[in-house]
């Protein structure tokens, strides 16, 4: 039978597919919300062996949705099968933190997952595979995966700060009494951790500088920064489990925008750092980016005042420390 789609199906791998984020993510990917309703997908769902039975149940539910865009589901705990010929890999599978922990406390347990996954991606995925790391600590896990994956360019390894970006947009919109879509040129710099820098210095609201519209320095420093920086912990305290649907949404929007473009608007992505803006090369650091034609591009040439410089260095220093903790995995 002739398919109603002109595009060939694209293989999308998701690790931790039976977990909380995975469950909130894969139905949306299957329904075409990530790569477009005109783009069929084959899902590669990867779990640890102990969870493969649950994963079968998730596949039954995917079947039961009868999504026209879903052309196949592979369930596996074998990484090379899981990443085989994939064009996108969403690395979600990892332990979440509990109350009182920092994300970097997960590094010893979670870091080693990403050496094996980097190697398997290198061996089995398309060399053009676009990789998003969601599992925490996301930036340093992405660095580990990138270092272990010789056949895929470093630029293809990214970490998720889109959830932080989206959290900030709503805080700004509520304060400024505007729509989230009125905001542009906002970005998150650095680590997905409490040291991140949610930067309002370039942001605009309907073209007017956001700081001028908000006109409240004390709110920016004493409410906006800590609310965005510590939102993950606040959700864990309230929900007794870490953000799942909002994290899945951030992951979906990260890949959607990377694949389909941002139309000139800024977003935030953890990508390989360079030595502009007084930073250091070779870390996975969140930058303002625009995306077009399947490629992310950093926003360059921004003026950086002393406050921004200090904030950007502080979060850089934490990433340097995290990298030093996992030197043996790089």
Read off φ and ψ for residue 60, nearest 5 degrees: -60, -40
Report whether 11 belongs to an annotated binding site: no
Q: Which does 322 bind (CB under 5 to 8 A by kind): ligand NAD, ligand LMR, none?
A: none
Q: Which of 192, 202, 254, 307 is catalytic?
A: 192
Q: Which does 134 bind (CB under 5 to 8 A by kind): ligand LMR, ligand NAD, none?
A: ligand NAD
Secondary structure (3-state) at 183:
strand
**Size of residue set near ligand LMR by CB under 6 A:** 12
Asked about 192 being catalytic, the answer comes back as yes
Q: Which residue number, 160 or 213, has a Cβ lying nearer to ligand NAD?
A: 160
Tell me the per-residue interface mask from 164 to 203 with ligand LMR, x by CB under 6 A, - otherwise: ----------------------------------------
Report whether 176 belongs to an annotated binding site: no
Reported as type and span, the H/E element at residue 59 is helix 52-65
Binding site for ligand NAD (CB under 6 A): 15-16, 18-22, 46-48, 51, 92-97, 113, 134-136, 138, 160, 163, 192, 242-244, 247, 250
**Residue 136 is a binding residue for ligand LMR (CB under 6 A):** yes
Question: Per-residue DSSP letters for 250-287?
Answer: HHHHHHHHHHH--TT--EEEEEE--SGGG--TTSEEEE
Report whether 103 belongs to an annotated binding site: yes
Cα end-to-end distance, the chain, whole Å: 48
Q: Which residue number, 235 or 271, has a Cβ lying nearer to ligand LMR?
A: 235
Instruction: For residues 319 and 264, give the distance between their C-alpha atoms in angstroms, rounded to a whole number.
Output: 29
Contact between residue 117 and residue 44 where contact means Cβ atoms under 8 Å apart: no
Q: Which residue number, 20 or 233, has a Cβ lying nearer to ligand NAD?
A: 20
Report whether 323 belongs to an annotated binding site: no
Secondary structure (3-state) at 166:
helix
Q: Which of 92, 183, 235, 279 binds ligand LMR (CB under 6 A)?
A: 235
Instruction: For residues 81 and 74, give the distance between their C-alpha atoms in angstroms, rounded to a whole number.
Output: 8
Nearest approach in angstroms of CB 136 to ligand NAD is: 4
Q: Which two tokens stand for residue 69?
A: 């865009």
Residue 8 DSSP symbol: P
Q: Which residue number, 152 or 188, has a Cβ lying nearer to ligand NAD?
A: 188
105 CB burial (10 A radius; 0-12, 13-18, 19+) = middle
Read off φ and ψ for residue 320, nearest 5 degrees: -65, -45
With CA atoms as reference, report the closest residue to 100 among 237, 282, 279, 245.
Answer: 237
The residues that are catalytic are 192
Binding-site residues, in ranges, read 16-22, 97, 103, 110, 134-136, 167
Tell me which residues touch ligand LMR (CB under 6 A). Answer: 96-97, 103, 136, 163, 232-233, 235-236, 242-243, 247
Binding-site residues for substrate, in ranges, read 97, 103, 136, 167
């Amino acid at each position: 039978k002739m398919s109603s789609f002109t595009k060939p199906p694209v293989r999308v791998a998701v690790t931790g597919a039976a977990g909380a984020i995975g469950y909130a993510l894969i139905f949306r990917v299957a329904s075409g919300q990530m790569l477009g309703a005109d783009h069929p997908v084959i899902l590669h769902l990867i779990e640890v062996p102990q969870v493969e039975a649950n994963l079968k149940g998730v596949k039954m539910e995917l079947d039961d949705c009868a999504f026209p865009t879903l052309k196949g589901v592979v369930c596996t705990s074998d990484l090379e099968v899981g990443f085989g010929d994939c064009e996108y890999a969403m690395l979600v599978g990892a332990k979440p933190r509990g109350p009182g922990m920092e994300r970097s406390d997960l590094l010893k347990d979670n870091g080693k997952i990403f050496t094996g996954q980097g190697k398997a991606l290198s061996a089995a995925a398309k060399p053009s595979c676009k990789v998003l790391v969601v599992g925490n600590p996301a930036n340093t896990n992405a660095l580990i995966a990138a270092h272990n994956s010789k056949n895929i360019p470093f630029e293809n390894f990214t970490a998720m700060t889109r959830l932080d970006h989206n959290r900030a947009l709503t805080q700004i919109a509520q304060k400024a009494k505007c729509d989230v879509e009125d905001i542009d040129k906002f970005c998150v710099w650095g680590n997905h951790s409490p040291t991140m820098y949610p930067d309002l210095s370039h942001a605009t609201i309907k073209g007017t500088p956001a700081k001028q519209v908000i006109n409240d320095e004390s709110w920016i420093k004493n409410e906006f920064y800590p609310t965005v920086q510590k939102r993950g912990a606040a959700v864990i305290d309230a929900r007794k489990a870490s953000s799942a649907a909002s994290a899945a949404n951030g992951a979906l929007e990260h890949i959607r925008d990377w694949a389909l473009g941002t139309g000139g608007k800024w977003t935030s992505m953890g990508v390989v750092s360079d030595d502009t803006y007084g930073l250091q090369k070779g870390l996975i650091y969140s930058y303002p980016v625009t995306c077009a034609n399947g490629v992310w591009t950093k926003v360059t040439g921004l003026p950086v005042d002393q406050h921004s410089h200090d904030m950007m260095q502080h979060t850089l220093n934490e990433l340097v420390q995290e990298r030093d903790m996992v030197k043996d995995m790089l």
